[in-house]
Amino acid sequence: MNKKQLSIGIVTPVRNEEEMLPKLAACILSQTLLPDRWLIVDDGSSDSTSKVIEDLKNKYSWIDSITLPDRGHYSRGAGSYSTAAKGFEYMISSDIHVFGIFDADISFKTTTIKHILDAFLNSEKLGIYGGEIVEMKGNDWVSPMGLPEDFVRGACKFFRGECYLDIGGIKLGKSSNVISNMEALMHGWIVKRDMNLLIKHHRSGGSRDSFVQKYTKAGTETAYIGSDPLLTLVRGLRKMITSKPYFIGGCIFLITYFNSAFLHKNQYKNKELLKFVRNHHRNILLRGFYKW
């Protein structure tokens, strides 16, 4: 299958992104290979984001948009994925073969879309693919966290259409990003984060959350997906010594996790996936290269 036979679509969830969206548009329009579709899903913006979208649609026939009702508040994670899911429904109905998310607050090289499409062309079993998300720390662009190679973050995450249908689409709610990665692996698809494909994130993850909210959410969501206790302990200890203010964040993370995990609070309902996640994490520990 050549590039003309394998179509690619982009979904960008936005809410009040009048500043960031034009910069993302500049990145996309500068690509050596343009997408077949770019769908911008407006999640109730109250600024001039809608005008930016209309200007783009008027200039380019392959850019479209959906406007959702305003829920009245910003919702990181779950809200973004429920917005993206609307866009993915559009891609499926439009017979787009490969589709994924570009968040509004990222930038990338001019060969990025070609790079993504080439990855899917080179492996028919590649189900989910994305780049290495880097953020500015001091004077350098660095990854804010160590992750295994089969963990693709949501700011740049692309699905093969067959894989997306195989896993039943995005599961809305907590840990949607992690669950889609794990379900794809469980169904035999390859999930790959390409550390050579750098995606610059101009707003740090969870920047709208307070310090306590950030670590409480992390602990709750780690328990929700059934993460292995030993692996989680390693993660928590690492947070204690690497994340400022030292010790406190890791403690909040671990207390929240163990409280939720041992009381079985609000765990994901798919027991098969919970078992797969735990076994997968144990295998990672045994291989000895887990970097969290």
Q: State the pLDDT at residue 208.
A: 58
Q: State the pLDDT at residue 77.
A: 52
Tokens for 24? 């993302």
Q: What domains can be seen in the chain, in order of their start residue?
A: 8-201 (3.90.550.10), 211-287 (no CATH)
From first CA to last CA, the distance across the chain in angstroms is 38
Q: State the pLDDT at residue 63.
A: 98
Cα gap 130→137, rounded to integer Å = 21
Q: State the pLDDT at residue 98.
A: 98
Q: What is the dihedral of CA 67, 170, 76, 58, to 10 degrees?
A: -30
Residue-by-residue pLDDT tens, the chain, 292 positions? 444 589 999 999 999 999 999 999 999 999 999 999 999 999 999 999 999 999 999 999 999 999 998 766 555 555 577 889 999 999 999 999 999 999 999 999 999 999 999 999 999 999 999 999 999 888 899 887 777 889 999 999 999 999 999 999 988 888 899 999 999 999 999 999 999 999 999 986 555 567 788 889 889 989 999 898 988 998 889 889 987 788 999 999 999 999 988 877 778 889 999 999 999 888 877 776 444 4
Cα→Cα distances 60→34, 43, 63, Å:
11, 21, 6
Q: State the pLDDT at residue 80.
A: 73
Tracing tokens 């997306």 back to the chain, one arrives at 164
**Contacting residues for 155 by C-beta, under 8 A, at least 6 apart:** 101, 102, 103, 105, 106, 133, 199, 201, 205
Residue 67 bridge partners (DSSP): 42
Q: State the pLDDT at residue 206.
A: 52
What pTM did the predictor assign?
Answer: 0.88
DSSP string covering the chain, please?
Answer: --TTTS-EEEEEEESS-TTHHHHHHHHHHT-SS--SEEEEEE-S--STHHHHHHHHHHH-TTEEEEEPPP-SS--TTHHHHHHHHHHHHHHHHTT-SEEEEE-TTEE--TTHHHHHHHHHHH-TTEEEEEEEEEEEETTEEE-SS---TT---TTEEEEEHHHHHHTTS---STTHHHHHHHHHHHTT-EEEEEEEEEEEESS-TTTTS-HHHHHHHHHHHHHHTT--HHHHHHHHHHHHHHSSSTTHHHHHHHHHHHHHHHTT-S--S-HHHHHHHHHHHHHHHHHT----
